[in-house]
A and B are shown apart, each in its own frame.
Chain A
Amino acid sequence: DGGITQSPKYLFRKEGQNVTLSCEQNLNHDAMYWYRQDPGQGLRLIYYSQIVNDFQKGDIAEGYSVSREKKESFPLTVTSAQKNPTAFYLCASSIHDDRNNYGYTFGSGTRLTVV
């Protein structure tokens, strides 16, 4: 089945640690995105990538980093510089950078908790 796989589903991080969230897709989509979801707020864009080896900052990129070495993979690193990392993280993909249209698919999410 085609889709987006995020792992792990739950992740716990100690203060000062970096953690990496995985996102893999087999939809042959060009563009991939990372969103953060907090209670009572709409999804906010962290980073996005339109093609391999290229990515752009979203609205809340501070304290996060990404890479896009393969078309299928877009891992997100939450660094110790992120002041409030506890949240639900969603990865998405689409054909081209086509946020205007169909073919926009979300993963199942990773819940990150700082302990």
Chain B
Amino acid sequence: KNQVEQSPQSLIILEGKNCTLQCNYTVSPFSNLRWYKQDTGRGPVSLTIMTFSENTKSNGRYTATLDADTKQSSLHITASQLSDSASYICVVSRPPQKLVFGTGTRLLVSP
């Protein structure tokens, strides 16, 4: 079954600390993997997108990694800020043109 599993479900970290969110998927075939940030009550905003040939992609303090062999991805947030408090959603694209969404990790950055 095509699924995207994210861990942890929720996470609390202190401002300024780093954290890593995990995404495991069983989607096959695979086109690309995306990470989105969703603020409460808002729509998701794209952070990174990687094809199977890419191992890492950065967007400011956000760095995503992808291991297509083990079907795992991670999103690393460096020097967290209060504005990083949000849900982070992993999305895997499966041809033909099907998106499979994870349930998200809810991150709270505490002052």
**Residues of A participating in the B interface, judged by any CB pair closer than 8 Å:** 4, 6, 9, 40-45, 88, 90, 92, 97-102, 104, 106-109, 111
Contacts and interface: CB of A to CB of B under 8 A. Distances in A.
B108 interface: no
A90 B43 contact: yes
Interface stretch (B13-21, B44-52, B53-61, B71-79): B44-52
Interface of B: 4, 31-32, 41-46, 49, 89, 93, 95, 97-104
Contacts of A90: 43-44
A98 B97 CA distance: 7
21 contacts: A6-B43, A42-B4, A42-B101, A42-B102, A43-B101, A88-B41, A90-B43, A97-B97, A98-B97, A99-B98, A100-B31, A100-B95, A101-B32, A102-B46, A106-B45, A107-B43, A108-B41, A108-B42, A108-B43, A109-B43, A111-B41
A4 B95 CA distance: 25
A107 B98 CA distance: 19
Contacts of B46: 102, 104
Contacts of B101: 42-44
Contacts of B49: 101-102
A99 B93 CA distance: 7
Query: Which of B31, B44, B100 has most chain A Cβ within 10 Å?
Result: B44
A13 B93 CA distance: 34
Contacts of B99: 43, 45, 99
The 6 A-B residue pairs with the shortest CB-CB distance, nearest first, are: A42-B101, A106-B43, A43-B101, A99-B97, A100-B31, A100-B93
Given A101-B32, A106-B44, A108-B43, A42 B103 contact: yes
Contact of B103 (A6, A40, A99): A40
Query: Which of B41, B43, B89, B102 has most chain A Cβ within 10 Å?
Result: B43
Contacts of B43: 4, 6, 90, 92, 106-109
